Structure 1
Amino acid sequence: MTCDRCKKRPATVHVTKIINGQKTEMHLCEECARQTGQLEFFSVPQFSFHNVLQGLFDPESATVGLPSGTISTPTRKCRTCGIDFSDFRRTGFLGCSNCYSEFQGRLEPVIRRIHGSTRHVGKVPARTGGALKVRKEIEDLRRQLEAAIAREEYEKAAQLRDKIKALQGKLDDRP
C-alpha cells in the first residue's frame, strides 16, 4: 500500500479517525505522517508505556513532562526485605509478605484499580474453606458491630456481639 499523500513511499502509518460517527482512514508514509503531525503522540517521551504503567501503579508520582529528578518523594523501605515502593513500581513485584502491610496505604488504590476490590473473592481450598468462611463472617460482623456502636444502636450491637461469640466458639471447636 502506498502513501495516500505523496503516492511514492510505502504507507507505514495507518490512522483511523472517527468524528461524529464518520470514519476516516489515512495511510501515510513515515515522512508524511511526521509532516502532518500524526506521529507527535508517539514521539513525545511522556507517553511511553513505562510512564503509562507507572501512572497505573502510582498516579501521584506521575511526572508527565517534567525532567527526571525534579520531584523527590520520600522513600520508605520494607523492614523485612528492604525493598522500597519505587522498586515495586519498576518491577511489579513485592519482596515479601510484610511488604503488603508496609505499603498498604499505597497498594490499596493500585489493587482496587486493577482487581476492582481489595478483598479476595476467588476460590478457596476445600480443607480450609469452612474456617476461612467463618473468619470472614466474624470480620464482617465486627465491622457491623463498630458501625452499630457508632450509631448508638446498642441492642443491635449486643446481638452482633453474641453472633460473633457463637462463631468464635465454632472456630475454637474445630480440630
Structure 2
Amino acid sequence: MKCHVCGKKEATVQIKQDIGGETKELWLCSSCAKFAGIELQDPSSIANFFVMSGEQSSSKQVDEKNKKCGLCGMSLRDFRKISRLGCPECYVSFESEIDEILERIQDGEKHVGRVPAKKEQNFKIMALEDELSNAVNSQDFEKAAEIRDKIKNLKNKFTLQENRDEENRDK
C-alpha cells in the first residue's frame, strides 16, 4: 500500500485514530511518519503523537463541525482539543487557524529569532565586502579604504571575542 501523504513510497506505518466516534486509518511511509514526529524505534512517540495538552485556541468562531482535513479526517475541533495535527495535509487545511495561533504566540506574522553570533558576524563582514567591491568598481578608493579598515577592525574584534570565549570555556 502506498503512503497516504506522499503517495510515492510504500507505507510501513499504520495509524488508527478515533475521531468523533469514527475510526480513521492513515498509512505512512517511514519518511512521512518521521516528519509527523513518529520514531519507529520508540513506541512512546506514537503515544505522544496523540497526547492531549489541554490548550485551547481562542481564534475566531468557525464552523468546527464541518472543517476537516481532506486526508486524515481530523476536524478543527480535534486540532484545537489536542493541539496537534493529524498529518502534513492538516497544515494546508487549517492554514488560517495556524497562522492566527502563530501570530498570537510570536507577536507578529514573521518569526524574528536570534542569529547565532558567529553567523551574524559573518553576515556583517560579507555585507561590508560587497560594499568594498562596489566602491572599488566605482573607483571610490577613499570609501574603499574606509570599508577595508572596518572589515579589518571587525575581524580583529571577532577574533578577540572568540579567544575570550575559549578562555572562559576552559575555566
TM-score between both structures, scaled by the size of structure 2: 0.30
TM-score under structure 1 length normalisation: 0.29
Q: Bigger relative contact order, structure 1 or 2, given CA contacts below 8 A and separation 6+?
A: 2
Look at both structures and tell me which one has the larger radius of gyration over its CA atoms: 1
